[in-house]
Structures are given as structure tokens and as C-alpha cells.
């Protein structure tokens, strides 16, 4: 793995460490500042990023076969983990737990680590494919998971007698909570704007771009603060299992479906496999904090998988090298 990738990993760990120090020393006070920052990211910064990205996508030029080679296995694993967690019926688990574990097993750090890796290893051609994946990565995964978690929450409210006992009432509540949501609503608005083929006015585009800039550093600081607040006690086993799914099972699934199922080869295959091999992304923690579920386990999975990527990343590069 190149020096540039190691430097990027080191920078990530340093920013996370600063967040941990801020959390341990209570630099931001004792009134749960991590959750306040998480809400700021979820309600302000991430929606701005999603709307701007969706409004600017040129769907006519997207490499659909390459995208399918990535997203079909990713969504397949997402559904498998979700169903597995739903069926396990662990006592004490919150209704959102299956969706939180599903996002941890499938949502990768395609920006902080993925962009420099694709640039260093695959050049301009590979970076173009990787950026295309990034452009709809959050759009696809967060939208699907939001629908799943809101359905589970509506079902839980119905069982408690807090919601309409009829199925139609549950579905209506789920649909409303799924659409009027800080992730899905900006995506739908962006798609509508895109469909009208209207350019973003300069001042609007500049404002959205400015709001999107804090997403990466804020998420990294939140990981460190969450480590300080929640620790990893009792979360290590689950975090390790999620890391194995993310670092080994998912890229293997993408490789099998992409190469032998869809006939993908060369740079395109390498890019989608390495995108799948990224460690757990920080958006998983934002999602967990949004639903106040498994924050400690998700934080530990992000940290464990990022450390382990130092070994698993070169492993997948070696496997891909034998296929070329």
C-alpha cells in the first residue's frame, strides 16, 4: 500500500484521537455535546451534501453495469444482515438494532480513505469510477436503511398501542417518517431538481458546498468523542463480527458477483472490490446516534475495521493482482 494511503490513515487516526481527547476532557461541556454535533451533521450538513450531489448527478452517463456490480452485492449483504438480526430476536435490542448493524456491515469509508486509495492505485480512470460510486453511495444505502428502520419503529409503536392498530395506519406512519426525514427528503428534492434539468443558482450551490465541507472532519471528531463517552466494553465482539463482514465478506461478494456474475474485469473490477473493502464509514455512527442505538458497538466497529484495513487492504490487492 502506498505512502499516501498510510498518511491518510494516520491523519484519520489523529483527528479521531483529538475527538477522544475532547470527549475525555469535556472540552465541549457535559451536556452530551457528541449528540448535539451528531444532530447538526444529520439535520444540516449531510442533507446539504445529499441535495447538492443528487441535483448534480448526470444519470445518462453513469456506468450502470459497474454500479450494479457494486450495489447489488452490497444491498444483498445489507438485507441478509438485517433479516438475520431481525430473526435473532436478541433480548434487550432496540427496534433500530438490525438496521444499525446492517449499515455498519455495508457502509464504507469511501471518501476519507477511498478517494486517495483510488487515486494512488488506479489513476484518473479508476478515480472517475470511484467518484461515481460515491455519488450515489449514501443516496442508495441511507434511503433503504431509513425505510427499514422506520418500518421497524412503526411496528414497535403499533405493538405498544402507541400508533394506529391497523396495517394502513402503520404503513402511512412509516411512509411519512421515511419521506419527511433529513436523509430521504433532500435526496428526493435533489432528484426532483435534477429531473427539471435546472442548474443550481451560484449562491445556492456555494452555500450547499460550504455546508457540506464540515461533514468529514465532524464525523471523525464524533468517532473519537463517542469512544470517550461509550468506550468499547461489551461492544468488542459485535464490532469484530461487523468488521469481518465489512472487510472480508462484502468485498468477496462483490468480487464473485462482479467478476463471475457480471463479467467485470480490469480497473473497473479492482475499483468496485476495493470500494467494498473500505472500513466502516463514519455515517454508520451518525445513523446509530440518530436512533440512539448501538453507538458504542458502531464506534468500535469503525475503529477496529480502520486499523484492520492496514492488513486486509493489501490482501485484496494481492487477490485482484492474481486475476489480472
CB 16 within 8 A of CB 217: no
- The pLDDT confidence band at residue 92, using thresholds 50, 70 and 90, is low
Segments in the chain forming alpha helices (H): 3-24, 33-40, 46-56, 64-88, 97-106, 114-160, 167-179, 184-195, 202-212, 215-230, 236-244, 250-255, 266-276, 283-290, 295-323
* pLDDT tens-place string over residues 155-179: 887 777 665 555 566 566 666 666 6
Percent of all residues in the chain with a pLDDT value above 90, rounded to a whole number: 30
Query: In this model, does residue 3 exceed pLDDT 90?
Result: no
3 state SS of 151: helix
Nearest of 106, 112, 84, 88 to residue 9 by alpha carbon: 112
For residue 121, the tally of other CB atoms under 10 A from its CB is 21
Alpha-carbon separation of residue 185 from 15, 40, 189, 219, 323 (angstroms) = 30, 16, 6, 21, 42
Of 40-54, 184-198, 208-222, 235-249, where does the model show the most confidence? 235-249
Fold of 3-323: Na+/H+ antiporter like fold (1.20.1530)
Rounded distance, CA 291 to CA 10, Å?
30
Percent of all residues in the chain with a pLDDT value above 70, rounded to a whole number: 89
Query: In this model, does residue 19 exceed pLDDT 60?
Result: yes
Alpha-carbon separation of residue 57 from 24, 184, 185, 187, 200 (angstroms) = 41, 16, 17, 11, 12
Side-chain half-sphere exposure of 59, counting CA atoms within 13 A: 11
pLDDT for residue 76: 97
Name residues whose C-beta falls within 8 Å of residue 72's C-beta, 6 or more positions apart in sequence: 257
Domain layout of the chain by residue ranges: 3-323
CB 278 within 8 A of CB 308: no
Q: What is the mean pLDDT of the chain?
A: 84
Rounded distance, CA 207 to CA 24, Å?
34
State the pTM of this model.
0.79
Amino acid at each position: 500500500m502506498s505512502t499516501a494511503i498510510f498518511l491518510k490513515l494516520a491523519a484519520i487516526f489523529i483527528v479521531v484521537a483529538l475527538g477522544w481527547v475532547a470527549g475525555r476532557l469535556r472540552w465541549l461541556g457535559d451536556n452530551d455535546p457528541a449528540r448535539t454535533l451528531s444532530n447538526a451533521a444529520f439535520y444540516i450538513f449531510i442533507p446539504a451534501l445529499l441535495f447538492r450531489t443528487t441535483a448534480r448527478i448526470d444519470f445518462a452517463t453513469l456506468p450502470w453495469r459497474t454500479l450494479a456490480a457494486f450495489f447489488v452485492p452490497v444491498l444483498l449483504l445489507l438485507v441478509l444482515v438485517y433479516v438475520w438480526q431481525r430473526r435473532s430476536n436478541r433480548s434487550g435490542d432496540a427496534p433500530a438494532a438490525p438496521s444499525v448493524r446492517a449499515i455498519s456491515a455495508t457502509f464504507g469509508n469511501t471518501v476519507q480513505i477511498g478517494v486517495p486509495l483510488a487515486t494512488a492505485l488506479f489513476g484518473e480512470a479508476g478515480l472517475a469510477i470511484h467518484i461515481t460510486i460515491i455519488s450515489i453511495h449514501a443516496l442508495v444505502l441511507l434511503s433503504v436503511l431509513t425505510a427499514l428502520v422506520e418500518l421497524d419503529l412503526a411496528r414497535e409503536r403499533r405493538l405498544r398501542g402507541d400508533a394506529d392498530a391497523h396495517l394502513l395506519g402503520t404503513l402511512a406512519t412509516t411512509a411519512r417518517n421515511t419521506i419527511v426525514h433529513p436523509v430521504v427528503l433532500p435526496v428526493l428534492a435533489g432528484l426532483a431538481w435534477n429531473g427539471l434539468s435546472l442548474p443550481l443558482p451560484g449562491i445556492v450551490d456555494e452555500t450547499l458546498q460550504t455546508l457540506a465541507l464540515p461533514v468529514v472532519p465532524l464525523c471523525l471528531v464524533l468517532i473519537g468523542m463517542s469512544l470517550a463517552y461509550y468506550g468499547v466494553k461489551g461492544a468488542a465482539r459485535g464490532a469484530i463480527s461487523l468488521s469481518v463482514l465489512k472487510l472480508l465478506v462484502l468485498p468477496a461478494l462483490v468480487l464473485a458477483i462482479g467478476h463471475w456474475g457480471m463479467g467485470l474485469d480490469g480497473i473497473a473490477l479492482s475499483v468496485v472490490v476495493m470500494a467494498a473493502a473500505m472500513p466502516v464509514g463514519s455515517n454508520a455512527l451518525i445513523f446509530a446516534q440518530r436512533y440512539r442505538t448501538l453507538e458504542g458497538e458502531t464506534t468500535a466497529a469503525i475503529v477496529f475495521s480502520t486499523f484492520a484495513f492496514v492488513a486486509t487492504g493489501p490482501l485484496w490487492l494481492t487477490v485482484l493482482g492474481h486475476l489480472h
